[in-house]
Structure 1
């Protein structure tokens, strides 16, 4: 029996993505050549890049005036590319966790950074509200889902300045209004593809406004003008992303993904709230649908390692919480079936019987 993969990233992928990518690695499009060795400028791979971009635009309903590009460097490179391209004088950041903090740190190299709000004093257990976005900021940056602490912004915010969002871990998990965003970016290794490719959705009219010179490779225009082919793209992860997008489309698109994700999160949080052995870590209204964080109840704290071993015996993998938080983290991305979540719930209930008898 294959393990249930609850890892936060690299994470679970649809079986179709794994199988089709494996086939292409052995023989790409009947060429007898591996996907790993074909020219990225050959017509067969250009077709892959074109389809992946088209599926992004279709599934997210991306309006005219936006470009979709595929880059290397992970979301971490975007922490500096965003301010390099957009920050002229001042940027605003909402600090909701580790990745938001890292993004803010990079932006400070390029200009003034205003932290509009933070939940750091409470270990990032909630999403701040009632803050003011400076109307004179060049952009406002948010991290929509916090994989380490298990909180998520589940609505499209209204912003008086261009809204920039790191959606590494919840892209395609819910319907979004792309027109409310100036830039959406993310690493692919949480809900889309294996590590190695980063997507950027960018409103074209935001570019070309900063006075500083931008290195060629760090200029979004370079990659837009060259169709993500200025340098050799991460061929295998792009191909895998295309397969995942095909799988999403065949299974009802983003609305269907969102419906299933709501159900998975509801039943798992319900068990956490019911089970006396476990407890949640975040404000209920801000709980993530993607990364469900929980710990042992106080009286069972010494049973943490026991539960991890108990889960492992039942082929439940990747449940250990981030080292900075501890406890448990069940990442239930799009590719996690509801049966996998039910297997975890069954294990929690069985463990409850064992330790409370």
Structure 2
């Protein structure tokens, strides 16, 4: 092949909030797959909040991206050349091939997907890592049951939107927390949540109290900070809190986090942080159930799509700033 690969690498680590100058668009020769490897033409790139942490050279659950290395990220695409017996040209696959047009991966690191049942892009969202995160957090850790009240923060995002819809399908009363009136309307009208509280509006604690007259049995938290602190006062005895993310604390020079621990003790609350990569044994069952819900229309997906690899840095900054809705993707040219 004579076509060049296009990649976005990490040019520098952010000093404060990240900016487009931290990234660099480069061209390189197409990679050549070795024995047991597969060359993939990526059609979709997933942008996710965890990438922000990978830009920093600090202790984390995964190693940082090195300066000059391709930014990490999940992709969905088509097999071009295979030296692995389980893959053929034309197969549609999902893998962690990063911010680039072409990538090479070990066959065992790729997941073959059915792009006829549901669109290929959805395998990066509701039927991909964000969906599995929602599934594990809600089903296994929160163990939400019919009749309970479930609160989901960042309810209009890729993970929160699926977590709330799964809770609704399980017969729960579902209240979302999102930033802005438009997002709250989307959460209620398009996704079927019973209510949504705009955390950007005044008197957050009063409005949470009004929206949660029966308290909270399961809290699926994606934001941390003051929103989490406000919700701790609404928890019922023996409730469960699943800590999935803390985006409010990223790039915040003076974060106000949890100030009171007494409600957790008094109400005998179980609090569990988790990383979805620790639950690989649950992925197959989760993806199968989620794909069925999407195919039948029981789970609705909204995608915010940026066009072309060069648009990825700006789209990523929009995601971090809360300007995207649903799953943030890049359609690769």
Q: What TM-score do you get using the length of structure 2 for normalisation?
A: 0.30
Higher strand fraction (1 or 2) = 2
Q: What TM-score do you get using the length of structure 1 for normalisation?
A: 0.29
